[in-house]
Chains A and B, each alone.
Chain A
Amino acid sequence: MNGLKIICGHYGSGKTNFAINYAIDEARNGNDVTLVDMDLVNPYFTSSEYSDILKKNGINVISSAFACTNVESLALPALQMIFDSDDTVIIDAGGDDAGATALGRFSDMIKEKGYEMFYVTNMYRPFTSVPSDSADMMKDIEKACKLKATAIVNNSHLKEFTTVSTITDSVPYAKEVSEIAKIPLLFSTVPRNMINKLKENENFYPIDVYVTTVWEKGE
């Protein structure tokens, strides 16, 4: 049993891109991984769209039968298996408190199984640019899903305009969010090609960009 990891955060904090990276890394570390796409509120840029790359890495993807279609349905996939599974189960929750609400229905089972919940935050998003606002957002999400965040993931970035200083400038912000929220800062994410330019005394986590537009993919 490798546990249940829930990834929550504000719309556009980069939850989905982080969830994909985290799932792939767990799989590359030799774990059996299941990724659950629970973003039922907003059908754009969800992790189900990236099933191909996930499956290529041996990751089991669970999503609504209506993912990638026009149905905005609260048709949840058969989720019982995630409580019986020995896989590392990663749940990509929907954005904000609205998106996390669906998770609340399973909160008792999740608590019984044991879980970690990562709150993803991005300093460059207007509603979470102030540490106390970000911590408030986290509390709203916790209330909606009836679960407690256990760590902060600093995913501060400006998409393709992200530079080394974009990341380093955000570290004090992330530490402040962590202090206010009284939970540890797990790490700050960094585009893989910049990881060597950053000091080793901070905790950085290299990621790739999977969530992009069709013209960025250039295919």
Chain B
Amino acid sequence: MSEKVLMKGNEALAEAAIAAGCRHFFGYPITPQTEVAAHMSKRMPKIGGVYLQAESEVAAINMVLGASAAGVRAMTSSSSPGVSLKAEGLSYLAGSDLPAVIVNVQRAGPGLGGIQPSQADYWQATRAPGHGDFKMLVFAPSTVQEMVDLGAIAFDLGDKERMPAMILSDGLLGQMMEPVVMGSEEKKVQEKPWAVSGHKNKREHNVINSLYIDPPNMEAILKARYERYAEIQENEQRCEEYLTDDADIILVAYGASARISRSAVDAARKENIKAGLIRPITLWPYPDKAILSKIGTTKVFLCVEMSTGQMVDDVKLIVNGKRDVRFYGRTGGVVPTPAEVLNEIKKIKGGI
């Protein structure tokens, strides 16, 4: 499939995983994510893979842990309430230094919330996907093509760093359709000498475990892990900048909010307001370099999110009081419009 096809975001996430060599998918239905699982259930049997509908989200994430420990590329997907259920498994994956790709097609919360799109799981994804000291790679696609591209990167980087990676999507991106080009060649999955895949009496047996008996030993392991995290923070941050060089007002938005914000930036430019956009593609590691580099040239940062304001905290931490950081958001399943965002830009313009 190297020619253009029309795909839903959720289908693209599934195809991206297949193209990345993932043959083990463990799912459980929940709107607005269900197409990921439905697509996998149709495709996996045709390509010699495993699609297994687990009895719960908790079971699915632990099946992912088992498959990953055995050295194969494994994935699960869910939507917000289901991801909360996976928290324990995510922590165990991180504690066991295991890679896996977890998709969250966010819907409104807390609680059952609603099935319309949301970005209110930013804190969960970047701060506390589960208990304990750990980080998870978090990728935030904003187009269906980017879901395909980041799917492969999430698997590759997760394997390289031996850590779980989340694709943080939302109901709008998951359900919308756009033309995409799938990569034509199949990925080769790298060797995993640490996997518990049978030693055949040819090597020492491997152990995958997140239990540590000796506190100082565990502290040393955590410190080593955080040194790796620091390298990832330095080397793996990704973002896209749009018209930021001369911008007085820089919007910061990811995912669907970034699409809306980009339209608002275009509309602002038509009215001679110098607006720009920084679009984080990795939410952890957060692209602090892009924001730092613009503190000297811009006047105000405006975070646009489908939440009551979560990512704005990261921007404030980076800007550290040197510039004004504002927020505009809609939540509860309500999607902001480009006109609303433009209105916010105008309000700020009036005050600077």
Contact with B176, one of A125, A213, A217 (Cβ below 8 angstroms): A213
Chain A positions 196 through 219: 1 when the CB is less than 8 Å from some CB of chain B, otherwise 0:
000000000000000001110111
Interface string of A153-166 (1 = CB under 8 A from B): 00001110100000
In the assembled complex, B35 has its CB within 8 A of some CB on chain A: yes
Complex contact A44–B6 (CB within 8 A): no
B15-45 vs A, Cβ < 8 Å mask (1 yes, 0 no): 1000000000000000110010000001000
Given known pairs A42-B175, A159-B177, the reply for A219 and B6 (CB within 8 Å) is: no
Stretch from B68-76, B183-191, B238-246, B333-341 that touches the partner: B333-341
Query: Which B residues contact A (CB, under 8 angstroms)?
Result: 1, 4-8, 11, 15, 31-32, 35, 42, 108, 113-116, 171-172, 175-179, 259-260, 262-263, 267, 333, 335-339
Contacting residues, chain B, for A45 (C-beta < 8 A): 175-176
Q: How far is the CA of A124 from the CA of B28 in the complex (A)?
A: 28
Residue numbers in A under 8 Å from B115 (CB-CB)? 43, 70, 72
Residue from B5, B15, B267 having most chain A Cβ neighbours under 10 A: B5
Assess whether A22 is interfacial by the CB under 8 Å rule. Answer: no
Residue of chain A at shortest CB distance from B258:
A215
Which residue from A127, A129, A218 sits with its C-beta under 8 Å from B267?
Answer: A218
Contact check, A158 vs B263: say whether CB atoms are below 8 A apart: no
Q: Which residues of B contact A72 (CB under 8 A)?
A: 31, 115
In chain A between 63 and 117, which residues have their CB closer than 8 angstroms to a CB of chain B? 69-70, 72
Distance, CA A157 to CA B5, complexed state (A): 9
User: Across the interface, do B262 and A215 meet the contact criterion of CB distance under 8 Å?
Assistant: yes
Rounded to whole Å, the gap between the CB of A118 and the closest CB of chain B is: 19
Q: B175 contacts which chain A residues (CB < 8 A)?
A: 42, 44-45
CB–CB A126/B11 < 8 A = yes
Given contacts A45-B175, A72-B115, A219-B339, contact A125 B6 (CB under 8 A): yes
Give CA–CA (A217, B263) in the complex, Å.
9
A-B CB pair tally, cutoff 8 Å: 75
CA distance A144 to B176 in the complex (A): 25
Chain A CB within 10 Å, residue with most, of B1, B260, B263, B267: B263
Assembled-state Cα–Cα distance A126/B114 (Å): 30
Contact pick for A215, options B108, B171, B179, B259, CB 8 Å: B259
A214: chain B residues within 8 A (beta carbon): 172, 260, 335-338
List chain A residues, Cβ under 8 A from B335: 214
Report the Cα distance A218→B261, complex, angstroms: 10
Q: CB-CB < 8 A to A70: which residues of B?
A: 108, 113-116, 333
Known A70-B333, A215-B259, A219-B337; contact A158-B6, beta-carbon cutoff 8 A: yes
Known A12-B7, A44-B172, A158-B6; 8 more pairs at CB < 8 Å? A12-B6, A44-B32, A124-B4, A124-B5, A126-B5, A158-B4, A215-B262, A217-B337
Q: Is the CB of A11 within 8 A of B6?
A: no
Q: Is the CB of B1 within 8 A of A126?
A: yes
Nearest-neighbour CB distance to chain A for B9, whole angstroms, equals: 10
| A43-B6 contact in complex given A161-B179, A213-B259, C-beta closer than 8 Å | no
| 10 closest Cβ pairs, A-B complex | A70-B114, A44-B175, A215-B263, A158-B179, A124-B6, A215-B259, A161-B179, A215-B260, A12-B177, A70-B115
Instruction: Report the bound CA distance from A91 to B180 in whole Å.
Output: 30
